[in-house]
Amino acid sequence: MSKAGDQYAVLPVAKAMQVFAYVASQAHDVTLTEVVQALDMPKTTVFRYLQTLSAAGLFSHNIEQDRYGVGERFRELARLDAVYHSLRSTAQGELDKLVGGFRETVNLAVLSRSDIVYVDIREANRSQRFQARIGHRNPIHSTSLGKAIAAFLPEEQVQGLPVNFEPRTYRTVADARTFRRHVDDARRRGYAIEIGENEDGIACIGVPILDGYGYPIAAVSLSAPDNRMKTLVDRAAEALQEASRRITAALPQISLRGGV
């Protein structure tokens, strides 16, 4: 494989990845010597990589047979990536359609601990200063994205959410009761609204994206200055829900349960 030329390559890492790729592409669990012969590396070196990768959980080491195979941690990461990858790629077209139809900013976000994380953002209007960026976090309680996801989370998981009710504007939801009401409303309605609770003058309407098991793995939202938003709430909610349904349909049938 390419190893010269990549001037910043860290050799142990590059070689360990060769081992990784070999083991992962075998249908059976492999032995130390098998890897050594296949990759023509010193026994000690391969031994150490196998140990290291096993310790990291990417491999599982079957002690009684002295065989190494792909580990559960790797499979978790792979499942997570499969879902997220599919989410982003199928959402792409839908986001484009939405931003094209409304000429307002459209966001895609997932839940991560007590925050929502922006995964994709399409700005209709590049002059806005405050827009979020990919990877940025916002609280659950101050965004329509967060409320939309919370609304469709299993009850016990909503309880467990570490919401801190940190105020973002003077309108930010400040206590559990109000939050609860907003979330219940969102569940009943099928979409969440947020008016200047995260950023003054900006309103948002958010819709969850459910996976095949009804679990809200993400949310899409449309955000606009609140005067403009008033006139298009209904149309936007409808369009967002349609987009969400289409994204759900294209998602792989994989459950994430505790994987996040």
Partner DNA sequence: CCCTCTTTTTTCGTGAAGCGAAACACGGTC
Partner DNA sequence: GACCGTGTTTCGCTTCACGAAAAAAGAGGG
- Minimal distance, residue 247 CB to a second copy, in Å: 13
Site string for DNA, 36-55 (x = CB under 7 A): x----xxxxx-xx-------
Residue 53 is a binding residue for a second copy (CB under 8 A): yes
CA distance 190 to 103: 23
Residue 26 is a binding residue for a second copy (CB under 8 A): yes
Residue 127 is a binding residue for a second copy (CB under 8 A): no
Residue 250 interface partner, choices DNA, a second copy, none, CB cut-off 5-8 Å depending on type: none
Residue 27 interface partner, choices DNA, a second copy, none, CB cut-off 5-8 Å depending on type: a second copy
133 versus 188: smaller Cβ distance to DNA: 133
Buried b (16+ CB within 10 A) or exposed e, 119-131: bbbbebeeeeeeb
**Which two structure tokens, joined as six digits, stand for 86?**
């599919």
- For CA atoms 197, 130, 204, 89, give the dihedral sign: negative
H/E segment holding residue 110? strand 105-112
CA distance 150 to 138: 14
Residue 118 interface partner, choices a second copy, DNA, none, CB cut-off 5-8 Å depending on type: a second copy
CA distance 147 to 184: 9
Residue 249 is a binding residue for a second copy (CB under 8 A): no
68 has which bridge partners? 30, 61
Closest CA to 51 of 38, 37, 35: 35
Residue 85 is a binding residue for a second copy (CB under 8 A): yes
**Which two structure tokens, joined as six digits, stand for 12?**
């142990």
CA distance 89 to 162: 30
- Minimal distance, residue 161 CB to DNA, in Å: 27
Query: Residues in the site for DNA, rule: CB under 7 A?
Result: 7-12, 15, 31-33, 36, 41-45, 47-48, 63, 66, 129
Query: Residues in the site for a second copy, rule: CB under 8 A?
Result: 1-3, 6, 8-10, 12-14, 16-18, 20-21, 24-31, 34, 47-49, 51-53, 55-56, 58, 67, 70, 73-75, 77-78, 80-82, 84-85, 87-88, 110, 112, 117-120, 134-135, 218, 253, 260
